[in-house]
Structure 1
Amino acid sequence: MKKDLTNRLSPMQAAQLFVSEHFSDCNGALLAGSVVRGEATETSDLDLVIFDESQSSSFRESFVKYDWHIEIFVHNLTSYQTFFKADYERAEPSMQRMVSEGLVIRDTGIIASIKKEANEQLMNGPEIWSDETIRVKRYFITDTLDDFIGSVDRAEAICCANTLFELVADFFLRTNQQWTGKSKWLIRSLRQNDADFSKRYVEAFNQFYKYGHKNQVVELVDDVLKPFGGRYFNGFSLGKKNV
């Protein structure tokens, strides 16, 4: 039976209560995630970023309290920078986004500087791909596209389409010097970068998933690769050493 949640605490009330009960002496705390962006659904949880100088290292933990699913991301006053660095290197700034968008629950004077770090990194964008990286990515997209085109097994074609969806979206974003993401953040990143393209992107794959039509996906992939030389197979080499 579906649980009645009409009388549960608001996201901010629940976040404030959780912090007061579990991290009352922390240096700072933020409420982030979909509830802050106005994108919450029935299954949305509360994302809390906690900064606590008494912690020896970062950790993540999940709870169910006050009729909310709550995920906490706990850092001391320097360990969060390791996550900033790792997120920057994979061009998936999840930690930076949480800090940037987060609403202050508690602050002893440290939040502003951490938010500044996050905002500057988000504004500067990810590292630019090298020509060699683009070359390698073109090859693996081409290889997967060939498998997709040639597949006569529905299940195998779906697997190829799933891989293409991620590879090509990531390629489009990174070659436009934009942040990327995993799962729902991949399509969110596409929308933020180019709303019209993202609509075309989703529709092309929908045509395949619904009706088995491959043409729109193939045309889309070719259009994304075209500015960089198109499909790439002949002459590709990786790891070969000159003797």
Structure 2
Amino acid sequence: MFLLLACLPALAVVVALVLCVRGIERAVDGRVAGAAAMVRQGSVSARAAKPHIVPRSAWAGVGEASAAVRNPPPPRYDDKVIAVFVHHTDSPNDYDCAEAPRIIRYLAAGQTGARDWDDIGYNFLVDRCGTIYEGRAGGVGRPVTGAHTFGFNHRTAGIAALGTFTAGVPVPRAMTHAIAALAAWKLGLAGVDPRGTARLTSSNSLSRYPAGTTATLPALAAHGDAYMTTCPGAALKALLPQIRQKAAHLQGRT
């Protein structure tokens, strides 16, 4: 009897410890489940890993690059990027991927020459092998104001697919995967779900919306969603739902 009574305090301590551990486990499980639910609801910034991006110096400072491309003016910045526009460059598809820097220089020369732009308009370009190139100067991780989508260059980034992707043209899988990875990372910096929408204000009445109009557009949009154009081509536009889903997955969203 005395032995049993002597053991009771120790037994109580053991029971308390077990209950405490179980309580901690339940609390931790609850926090994990709660965090997962918040990610699903978009309450937590779900960021994706930064993909490899070939720096601008790989194409802009060599060969026949124009003076404007070699020495662009100081970049302009927005507060953040909340939407991405996908383009195609309307150039040949049968290039060797080693030629991509030369093709980008050619595109930049046309935009800074004939169009008299201050720099290449696209923030990024992706070739058929899935290589991502830095386009417009200013820093890939910063919200550089581009010149890619008339009326909607603010708070957005432009990703151009090197090639022409009209109806019936195959779009390389490596290219769409790279676009998804890039969009996932860039939009993730602001906690934006690639499957969602963004409210953007038009700055030019020559877009689909009069200047000053606030439009609700896909967070990962086609150029033609904001401007009267068939860009990025029917074949690439048809794949945007898959690209959005892939980008969301890369952000850890379900």
Q: Same fold (TM over 0.5)?
A: no
TM-score (norm 1): 0.24
Whose radius of gyration is greater, 1 or 2? Answer: 2
